[in-house]
Structure 1
């Protein structure tokens, strides 16, 4: 770390990664804590209501935090502050889901079942939520769960969210070969800033359990037939080993005929939604997601 702080090129990135959210949260009318029914028991959710009085129904977003499938909760910045910012900037109702983590024997499909149950609940309660459409999104492991849920909803219900939003997603059981651009970016990173292969495998093994050798496509969406998924926004971090997964998944979406927009967020590491929006790349990324939500409901 001392070497990085002494390096004028690396220091701003590390200082930004260690920053905290702005002291004053965005204005909201209210938040509401609920538990909704799920196949493995109740699932806690937090609803973020934007301020103001809408003249027509709002757009909805079901949002999933990351944390390598084993960490994270509704209070982490990637969950709470992202939901607050998106509710404020997009005027959307955001439902943040506290899905079960892969700890103490919990493995696939339990976390994914919680997410699918949350989507069913949101679809059944659009009137109470005051929304006219539902998008689905998440970050890192949450992006994996969002894509897996979209695949299941396509296959089981013949239904798809308005938009799919995937932020630094992790979609493959083995990382794809990095692009030349990513290889160059990775050479600029200190080892402590990288994701070691053994850690990546441990994350997968922890989530998949006995299925690690033959993972279902719903668990690792990089293996899936992606035809019929909704318009998708993919945001990849410039300095992130998992960028290889996001780039490969974006290419697979495009090959399947899905309307996909892939954005490289420059100057940031994996997990940048845990940073303050006073950091311009993070602010731009949040604005891009908010813009996608504002456009929801306009698809033919």
Structure 2
């Protein structure tokens, strides 16, 4: 079930072994190629514990001192991934979206190989994190995932949802959630914690779904590929025929079924994604002109009009 943490040094070779196990690429920007090839440079010191549960949930508890900065690129797939930062900070990038997590903050996301998750860890101590991943394919044979959970996960339409960890839970996790208990009790505690974090971390569905019998499950899965493309790369230019090809539908069918599923037409959804991303860039200090171009608008005036219509204020006043 688990691998207990022991304080030790983690070298480049250890990170590469982790990468092979979890489909993650690691990059070490401050280390020469020769040193990287030798696999012996110490990157971090501390402990990492893994707990794979029979339900398909998997925990990774990590308490490290980062000696050399590194970047990880997660290439796998997971319908749910929750990252909690208890101490320190982590910078995340997925598609065009970027987030920095600090102590007490958490993020909920879904991983898709087309939009790998990039995480950057700078030199710091300590960095204490908890990662919860869920994949029903990882459940024990004959162990079905709760239907309510799978239904909730299918309705998440916010690719990177940040939230704050309640103080009582943060305190408990920092202390060390697992006492020295037999494996059965540990499993029960972790199953309960996984459901608690999932309940806290699933975002409110801002997009009202209107799924009808006219939209089959295979069609919903293809529509979700379209939605993710718009969400993670809103700065790109799209044609209706291109999106229809991804959905394996006619343009008119795509328009009807996308609206039936997500409550908006594809291009209304794209506009909202662009403007949500624009708010992030404006908050980071980019000018209105720079922001307009970064989110896919050719003309700043068109961007300003759309921004004002969406949020009720001009882009300049939102900075």
What's the TM-score once normalised by structure 1's chain length? 0.31
Structure with more contact order per residue of length (Cα contacts < 8 Å, sep ≥ 6): 1
Question: So what's the TM-score if we normalise by structure 2?
Answer: 0.29
